[in-house]
Structure 1
Amino acid sequence: MILPNDAKKLISLLEQNGHSAYAVGGCVRDALMGVEPKDVDIATSALPNQTQRILEDNNIRVVLTGLKHGTVTAVVNHTAYEITTFRNDGEYGDNRHPDSVVFVDNIKDDLSRRDFTMNAIAYNDNTGYVDCFDGVADINNKLIRSVGNPDKRFNEDALRIMRALRFASVLGFDIEEKTSQAVFDNKELLSSIAAERIYAELVKLLCGDNCEEVLLKYKEVLAVVIPELKPTFTCTQNSKWHLYDVYTHIVKSVAVSPKKDYIRLAVFLHDIAKPQCKTTDEKGVDHFKTHCEVGAKIAFDILKRLKVSNEVLNKAITLIRIHDDHITTKPSNIKKWLRLLGEELTFDFIDLKIADMKSHNLFFAQTELDELEYIRTLTAEIIASGEPYRISDLAINGNDLTALGYKGHQIADELNSLVKIVSGNPACNTKEKLLHQAQIDIKNTTE
């Protein structure tokens, strides 16, 4: 394993002072998978005060943030390295954090408390890999396996259930049989986990390459986190446009949507109101009128509960609310959407509709899908051409209208009226023509 020089230096300093030290956890797993580690965590036999003294004696900045659990943070060249004393954990009273920790001097004991075998591997240049639980073999076999008893591991920290699903989605690994069963058996423990923690894992899961398989197999686990999803599991869609029940359609749409957090959240929740909006006509065909508006309200409550940022919330809810609205190949219509949403969210809107359509019955929906792909190209061409579609693109501004006698809301109303004219006919976007039109408009309103 190729460690960063600064990490090597820290491990070496600890060893030179009579302690053992290793890189541990995700950085070792990533290295074994051929992925450059983002962060390097270090475990050591040195007690926290000993680690602190060694670092300070070598003029290394120390941040004391996790002393209760044995962690000292070293800052070297603007990079933080968490250095944690080997430990065993006490009871987990809240299914999340140990009530106490006991420091130990053996790396195997420290590795035995970790969540999954792939994360329970240590490394330093002198010893090589320390793999007491066959984590290397599990990585090679693409397996997520609990260290020891999976029920015990999940009862210690229920967030590990979501972590297992997230790893399966992001890494493309399977969850080993006993560990998988324990995920189902202990899923209700997730109700005690902080919403922010759940959301952090959920959004990574949704953005994983293997999300479709995980979301389908572990839907009952996701229903603990988002119980509003459960009715979609059995909600059929009897229509020539659909091949799948609502939940399967949702998941397949997520898997082909852009990997932006708010888009994948929007797609995951876009049809959540279909079960309660479902009606069936005399021919046995299902309809879901108003599911966009109702779904936006349900999704708002879910995302607020998960404590997402206002930016993510607003973008996701907007996309859910409009996802069945029409955008056409007419430049004036595309420009209307660009004015309403801005460039980025207009592309997001089109991309969501494309992902949604890809999960329909393409025997009937392929023409519409092809049109959406063409609309996306047209939108990019309109933006690149510099054709006017925003008020800021107009050849005149509010001051010009004020000089003609416009006041208050009249100014904004007239600018909106003018931009609609020029977006359909760019040749009209000259100061002379727009002032002439504005003079006609104000004359008509005062007569």
Structure 2
Amino acid sequence: METLEAAGHEAWCVGGCVRDLRLGRTPEDWDVTTNALPEQTLALFGDRALPTGLRHGTVTVRTSERAVEITTFRRDGNYRDHRRPERVTFTCSLEEDLSRRDFTVNAMAMDLRGVFRDPFGGAEDLKMGILRCVGEPERRFREDALRMMRGLRFAADLAFSIHPQTAAGIHRCRELLAEIAPERIQTELTRLLTGQQPAEVLRAYPDVLGVFWPEILPMVGLDQRNRHHCYDVWEHTLHALSASPPDPVVRYTMLLHDIGKPDCMRLDEDGRGHFRGHPVQSARMAEQMLRRLRFDNRTRACIVRLVEWHDRPIAATDPAVRRCLRALGEEDLRRLLAVKRADNLAQAPAYQDRQRELDRVEAVLDRLVEENACVSLRQLAVSGRDLLALGYVGPAVGRELNQLLDAVVDGVVPNERASLLDWARKDRQDCR
């Protein structure tokens, strides 16, 4: 900013970094706006400058600590794809540049001396905890439909309420999200779910999520008609979400763990609801939904596995916990316990007594981890070479190693070299 000002240009911090500074937060990113043309910015910063978005007036300047986007004051042309303007026109007016931005709390600017520009009342909205569009909400959302998901994300992350006119615009324009790239939706949804108040936002906007995940809508208002539950399926989901830690994998698991219940619901002769097979159905649906938003394979597989496992009982015994450790690994087993705790806390109060059993399971897990209990092939006291020396060949080596590991995990044989070799010799003799 000093470099731009020394060359006779204006330079202002703008957007999220100004918002975060006024909230007492450390900004994640720094964006600068200026009346310098992109070509002038490139010339000023030389080989530190990258022409990352010249068409829209953006130059990225690398510093020793970070990259900073510097964008020329601009006014936007028509938005035909509901995402980016077809063309932009550069302007000399900071206020005109701020007028094109999404929300008032993101339309504030500050220079190096702390001079503050806030033509749309963003500071007051920030003080009141209100998210409000700059100008007409529907116009803002029709220009860039992703702004709706950004609005929900900001509301969840900042624990803000959404101004009634802005909220009405989101509901009216929600179908435009069908035209937004799935990867963009995923990014905003993840940040929403890991915010301070995701449940409050999702409670008010299930119709918005229903544009890209229509599977959610049948959960809303579905009475479970079961004494274990005091909430409908959607409310149970939101309460479980609120009770879970802000790990993205855990939060997605809570959002999707009962997604299959509407398909599985059956009423008995007394009118009570039952959901047999819903974990498997939920996992199947979660797989499809996560693929639709282009989740990476590892994250998708982890969430789907936790959804499928969320209702499986785990005994507080060494063999049971070792089997879970073998199947899931420590990180995901701890996530599963967090999922189970949150799921239990969202049930009827009389049925929230499983926490003590989960405490016992976690105590066993802590002890097994501390003891470095054998739950994987690499921890086994024998290797493939040992089995080759006993006469095992080809695929039989892998099969026997896994059988030995099963025996160790189940507590049938200790993880000791001599004991395992004796076991393997007996298995080989039995196979002859």
Is the pair's TM-score, using the shorter chain for normalization, greater than 0.5?
yes
Equivalent-residue separation in structure 1 for 2:402 and 2:295 (angstroms): 33
Deviation, structure 1 residue 127: 5.8
Name 1:392's counterpart in structure 2: 378
- Correspondence 1:82 to 2:77: no
- Correspondence 1:54 to 2:40: no
Name 1:350's counterpart in structure 2: 337
Deviation, structure 1 residue 427: 7.4
- Deviation track 1:289-325 (CA, whole Å, cap 9, x = no partner) reads 1112122221111111101111111111111122222
Name 2:23's counterpart in structure 1: 33
- The answer to whether the Cα contact below 8 Å between 2:323 and 2:410 also exists between their aligned partners in 1 is no
- Correspondence 1:98 to 2:103: no
Name 1:371's counterpart in structure 2: 357
- Correspondence 1:121 to 2:70: no
Which AA in structure 2 matches 1:379? Answer: L
Equivalent-residue separation in structure 1 for 2:340 and 2:114 (angstroms): 54
Name 1:15's counterpart in structure 2: 5
Deviation, structure 1 residue 390: 2.5
Equivalent-residue separation in structure 1 for 2:136 and 2:9 (angstroms): 30
Name 2:285's counterpart in structure 1: 298
Deviation, structure 1 residue 426: 8.5
- Correspondence 1:170 to 2:157: yes
Q: How many residues align?
A: 432
- The answer to whether the Cα contact below 8 Å between 1:394 and 1:429 also exists between their aligned partners in 2 is yes
Equivalent-residue separation in structure 1 for 2:110 and 2:264 (angstroms): 56
Equivalent-residue separation in structure 1 for 2:259 and 2:272 (angstroms): 19
- Deviation track 1:111-133 (CA, whole Å, cap 9, x = no partner) reads 11100010000001336111111
Partner SS state of residue 352, structure 2? helix
- Deviation track 1:141-191 (CA, whole Å, cap 9, x = no partner) reads 111011111111111111111111000101101111111111111111111
- Correspondence 1:411 to 2:403: no
- Correspondence 1:287 to 2:263: no
- Say which of 198, 221, 225 aligns to 2:212: 225
Equivalent-residue separation in structure 1 for 2:417 and 2:45 (angstroms): 68
- Deviation track 1:333-355 (CA, whole Å, cap 9, x = no partner) reads 10011111111111122221221
Deviation, structure 1 residue 409: 3.2
Name 1:7's counterpart in structure 2: none
Query: CA distance change for structure 1 residues 55 and 436 in 2, over 3 Å: closer, same or farther?
Result: closer
Partner SS state of residue 428, structure 1? coil
Name 1:182's counterpart in structure 2: 169
- Say which of 196, 211, 234 aligns to 1:209: 196
- The answer to whether the Cα contact below 8 Å between 1:387 and 1:426 also exists between their aligned partners in 2 is no
Equivalent-residue separation in structure 1 for 2:419 and 2:188 (angstroms): 56
| Mean CA deviation greater in 403-412 or 332-341 | 403-412
Equivalent-residue separation in structure 2 for 1:335 and 1:27 (angstroms): 47
RMSD value over aligned CA atoms?
Answer: 1.6
Query: CA distance change for structure 1 residues 111 and 406 in 2, over 3 Å: closer, same or farther?
Result: same
Which AA in structure 1 matches 2:213? Answer: I
Partner SS state of residue 190, structure 2? helix
- The answer to whether the Cα contact below 8 Å between 1:388 and 1:426 also exists between their aligned partners in 2 is no
Equivalent-residue separation in structure 2 for 1:377 and 1:134 (angstroms): 53
Gaps of at least 5 residues in structure 2 are: none
Name 2:238's counterpart in structure 1: 251
Equivalent-residue separation in structure 1 for 2:32 and 2:257 (angstroms): 42
- Say which of 313, 322, 334 aligns to 2:321: 334
Query: CA distance change for structure 1 residues 346 and 127 in 2, over 3 Å: closer, same or farther?
Result: closer
- Deviation track 1:197-216 (CA, whole Å, cap 9, x = no partner) reads 11110111011111111111
Query: CA distance change for structure 1 residues 395 and 55 in 2, over 3 Å: closer, same or farther?
Result: closer
Deviation, structure 1 residue 95: 1.0
Equivalent-residue separation in structure 2 for 1:373 and 1:360 (angstroms): 18
- The answer to whether the Cα contact below 8 Å between 1:209 and 1:255 also exists between their aligned partners in 2 is no
Equivalent-residue separation in structure 2 for 1:77 and 1:392 (angstroms): 42
| Mean CA deviation greater in 162-171 or 310-319 | 310-319
- The answer to whether the Cα contact below 8 Å between 1:22 and 1:124 also exists between their aligned partners in 2 is yes
The TM-score normalised by the length of structure 2 is 0.96
Name 2:52's counterpart in structure 1: 65
Which AA in structure 2 matches 1:414? Answer: E
Query: CA distance change for structure 1 residues 438 and 181 in 2, over 3 Å: closer, same or farther?
Result: same
Partner SS state of residue 22, structure 1? strand
Name 2:122's counterpart in structure 1: 135
Deviation, structure 1 residue 283: 1.7
- The answer to whether the Cα contact below 8 Å between 2:42 and 2:50 also exists between their aligned partners in 1 is no
- The answer to whether the Cα contact below 8 Å between 1:241 and 1:365 also exists between their aligned partners in 2 is no
- Correspondence 1:273 to 2:248: no
Q: List structure 1 segments (4+ residues) > 6 angstroms apart after TM superposition.
A: none
Equivalent-residue separation in structure 2 for 1:389 and 1:12 (angstroms): 58
Which AA in structure 2 matches 1:398? Answer: G
- Say which of 121, 140, 147 aligns to 1:160: 147
Question: What percent identity do the matched residue pairs reach?
Answer: 39
Equivalent-residue separation in structure 2 for 1:269 and 1:199 (angstroms): 14
